[in-house]
Amino acid sequence: MASLAIRDRRRIIISGQVQGVAFRLWLTSVAHSLELSGEVQHWEDGRCEVVVQGERSLVKQFIVACKRGPSGATVQSIEVTEEKVDPACIGFHVQR
């Protein structure tokens, strides 16, 4: 059944207090629990960028989690843009 699920890919830019609070580690844990693929990285300007893909309803759950963030983080805003699904994207990784 999973192969029939509609797949989705989103780029998410998260602004706020998202560095120095284990945000990338937390997002990785959320992505793994939802069985999503992609990557996360911090930008020099203090924002966090996530590219995530997987079953559409699970990607939506991930976006909701991004708005909440882990304890210690303060999410001020997120920007979400749709991207073309990449069949080669496997696993979820932290970019340094």
CA torsion, ordered 51, 34, 79, 74, to nearest 10 deg: -110
Does residue 9 sit within a domain?
Answer: yes
Does residue 96 sit within a domain?
Answer: no
Q: Is the confidence at residue 71, as pLDDT, over 50?
A: yes
Amino acid 1: pLDDT: 40
Arithmetic mean of pLDDT over the chain: 93
* Residues 42, 19: Cα–Cα separation, whole Å: 7
Does residue 67 sit within a domain?
Answer: yes
Does residue 95 sit within a domain?
Answer: no
The 10s digit of each residue's pLDDT in 50-63 is: 999 999 999 999 99
* Residues 42, 25: Cα–Cα separation, whole Å: 11
Shortest CA distance to 89 belongs to which of 57, 48, 53? 53
Does residue 91 sit within a domain?
Answer: no
Give the pLDDT band (50/70/90) at residue 78: very high
Does residue 93 sit within a domain?
Answer: no
The 10s digit of each residue's pLDDT in 1-32 is: 445 678 999 999 999 999 889 999 999 999 99
Q: Is the confidence at residue 84, as pLDDT, over 90?
A: yes
Q: Is the confidence at residue 81, as pLDDT, over 90?
A: yes
Full domain range(s) for residue 45: 2-85
Does residue 66 sit within a domain?
Answer: yes
CATH code (residue 9) = 3.30.70.100
Amino acid 94: pLDDT: 94
Please tell me the total count of domains within the chain. Answer: 1
